Amino acid sequence: MILLRSLVFQLGMWTFTIPFTVISILTFPLSAITRYKLISIWAKTILFWLKISCNINYKVNGLENIPKKPFMILSKHQSAWETLAFQKIFPPQVWVLKRELLWIPFFGWGLAMTSPIAIDRKAGKKSLEHMLRQGIDRVNKGFCIVIFPEGTRIKPKKIGKYYIGGAWLAKKSKINIVPVAHNAGHFWPKNSFLKNPGEITVSIGSSINTSSITPKEANKIAKDWIELEMLKINV
């Protein structure tokens, strides 16, 4: 049954994604925020389709911790699920991602229209300068910024190295950090075709003020909160 449900989800997702990519590209003349709001309809639709086809629901703890002005989301990264769900849970946002993702047919083309901060990981110091310049620009346009500090998807109950880049960007951009934990990897595992039914838990922590602490300190506070919360919500 899980295999059949997963197949139905995949077929439905691609049936909707291909024509929606064309629509996304046509939004290019619009403002960045307007483009985002229109394109995020895709993510919300796929999230709904996932619920219908695979019986995957979710709950959110800590909604009261979401600030009113732009902020940095430092989150656990276990699955493709959070890239969809965050568009429904949080205000308009952009992601810091490797530029190669924009080259993926259909998905990458639509992603490019959402004003991501695409970086070349091989560029070293220049990539940091590029990230800061674009990060400040996105914040000024009213976007939050999403960074997965471990840099890649991590299997449930595993801990990767928390890179300091997200905290550094938050400090330089003069925005607070909101730590986020979730257990989506149990239900939509990394590199897995199969989607397991159940309820995903998303936990949103209190805002971390970066003005009076170093990026290293902010990164540690976020990591400690996320990993402690993961112990509570891992299934």
DSSP string spanning 88-121?
HHSSSEEEEEEGGGGGSTTHHHHHHTT--EEE-G
The whole-angstrom separation of Cα 177 and Cα 141 is 18
CATH number of the structural domain spanning residue 186? 3.40.1130
Residue 208 CB coordination number (10 Å): 21
Helix 165-173 and helix 215-233, axial crossing angle in degrees, nearest 10 = 120
Q: What is the pLDDT of residue 104?
A: 82
Q: Which helix (H) or strand (E) holds 198?
A: strand 198-204
Q: What is the pLDDT of residue 101?
A: 82
CA distances (Å), 119 to each of 126, 129, 157, 172, 208, in order? 9, 10, 28, 17, 25
In contact, 53 and 9? CB cutoff 8 Å: yes
Full pLDDT tens readout for the chain, 235 residues:
999 999 999 999 999 988 888 888 889 899 999 999 999 999 999 999 999 999 999 999 999 999 999 999 999 999 999 999 999 999 999 998 888 888 888 778 888 888 999 887 776 777 788 889 999 999 999 999 999 999 899 999 999 999 999 999 999 999 999 999 999 999 999 989 999 999 999 999 999 999 999 999 999 999 999 999 999 998 7
Tokens 């205000």 sit on residue: 91
Strand arrangement, sheet containing 177-182? 56-61, 198-204, 177-182, 72-75, 144-147, 93-98, 117-119
The whole-angstrom separation of Cα 107 and Cα 104 is 6
Residue 62: domain span: 2-233
Residue 54 CB coordination number (10 Å): 21
**DSSP-derived secondary structure letter, 51:** H
Tell me the whole-structure pTM to 2 decimals.
0.93
Q: What is the pLDDT of residue 123?
A: 67
Grouping H, G, I as helix, E, B as strand and the rest as coil, residue 45 is helix
Provide the token pair at 144: 């939050």
Domain count, the chain: 1
Q: Which of 7, 78, 15 is nearest to 46 (CA)?
A: 15
